[in-house]
Structure 1
């Protein structure tokens, strides 16, 4: 811990800039959007340190306190910014396999009894819910949630 204080004493205001940049680099290497806000707080504190470093009140205790406060404020502001950001995808069902199957047709391979049965879609057997239907009946998928599909009998033309 003493080495850390020695570093900040020797580096002066630039120590906060270095710490901020290291936190931003760590954000690139680690998943999540947390270290970015703490890094921004450190860079802001570095800018403040450039101005206030010569004054006697600018001790390490005040700097640590301001760093903690700036980090919390930056995290709160950052979360609000990301929360309000509207994201649209060109593939909204990319990671929702069951939902992406809605509208397809299939054949019942295990009769649907008491509302449950199985269908084959491509090379996968799916557990389905729907009205009781015999094996070999044609159905279409009306809903998908997680690993469960809901089917309805296919209307004959």
Structure 2
């Protein structure tokens, strides 16, 4: 069996393109970096006749570097763009002000936020008083008079 194609530059390029194509079906931005490394090794082998052992070592080194760079980019983008409170509705209300729907009596009352009603804890205040959400304990909001 002739392994010149498999171990040669076109084998690396085809393997890289296959890995890049597989990224479409298994997203996670991992196969992409391996595919990119394989394509670069194929192009390097095309430019300079590298033995297959050197090409394999170059692939491992480039794949490791590309994966590390990709992870760093992904982490930086995730912390910059993602709202870490996206699924924590109570945490998203902290710092906002609302009028009391029901007076706070005995430390407990209610506010209306859009189309929902939230239980609140805080100092006794009459209905209609503007309050500021300062924290939460589960679904119960901690409030003070604004």
State if a TM-score over 0.5 links the two structures: yes
> What is the rounded CA distance, in whole Å, between the counterparts of 1:29 and 1:133 in structure 2?
57
Is 1:106–2:102 an aligned residue pair? Answer: no
Q: Select between 145-154 and 119-128 the one with higher mean Cα deviation.
A: 145-154
State the match for 1:42 in structure 2.
Answer: 38
Partner SS, residue 140 of structure 1: strand
Query: Which of 46, 51, 56 is the matching residue for 1:64?
Result: 56
> Scaled by the length of structure 1, what TM-score is found?
0.60
When normalised by structure 2's length, the TM-score is 0.63
- Residue 17 of structure 1: CA displacement? 1.5
SS in 2 for 1:30: coil
1:109–1:135 contact (8 Å) kept in structure 2: yes
In structure 2, stretches of 5+ residues that fail to align are none
Gap regions ≥5 residues in structure 1: 1-5
2:66 to 65, 74, 81: 74
* Structure 2 residue 129 is matched with structure 1 residue 138: yes
* Structure 1 residues 56-86: Cα deviation after superposition (integer angstroms, max 9, x where no partner): xx13x44333322211111223334455669
- What pairs up with 1:82-121 in 2 under 5 angstroms? 82=74, 95=86, 97-98=89-90, 99=92, 102-109=95-102, 111=104, 113=106, 117-121=109-113
The residue that corresponds to 1:3 in the other structure is none
Cα deviations by residue, 1:34-73 (Å, 9 ceiling, x for unpaired): 22222211111111221344x6xx13x4433332221111
- Count of aligned residue pairs for this structure pair: 142
CA offset digits 1:94-144 (Å, max 9, x no partner): 936442674341324484645x65433232122434x22257353333446
